[in-house]
Amino acid sequence: MTNDQLKEKINGWISGLEFPENKQYLEVVVPAESLLKLARLLRETPETAFDYLFCLSGVDYGKQLGVVYHLESTTHNHALVLKVKTDDRVNPNFDTVCGLWRTAEWHEREIFDLLGIKFNNHPDMRRLFLDDEWVGYPLRKDYKDDINIIER
């Protein structure tokens, strides 16, 4: 499918989707409460069949925190970028997608550890790199470490 065909196919599945302009991939911004539903449809619908999560990243946009999913269909040879954002910097959380793509399990733990974004229903939501006594999330733009004089 072309990006236009993909957009037309998934546009009616969920309300509130946004499609920002992107030169390489079709980009879809989904409301947080619809993330898991859309992800499941993207994976399980035969015409889309996004069976490969090839990149999963956490992002601090300043006022918002978000997660970016790069998906590919190895069957149909098409790809898309799925984004989800939240204004809640105190308790940011999204649904886990590790039940759909197993590779997400470690990536979500990394995002939790370094950005503080929690993933609902994750089977092992604990720090991956930093020890339990570490205070703060080093990849956040507002992170400060007075001991090591790290500021963003």
Whole-structure pTM value? 0.92
How does DSSP classify residue 110?
A: H
> Do 141 and 152 touch, CB atoms closer than 8 A?
yes
Collect the ranges in the chain with pLDDT lower than 70: 148-152
The CATH-assigned architecture of domain 3-95 is: 2-Layer Sandwich (3.30)
Quick: pLDDT tens for 31-53: 999 999 999 999 999 999 999 99
> Would you state the pLDDT for residue 22?
81
> Would you state the pLDDT for residue 152?
54
Quick: pLDDT tens for 88-99: 999 999 999 999
> Would you state the pLDDT for residue 148?
67
Quick one: how far is CA 77 from the chain centroid?
21
> Would you state the pLDDT for residue 150?
60
The pair phi, psi for residue 145, each rounded to 5°, is: -130, 100
> Would you state the pLDDT for residue 145?
75
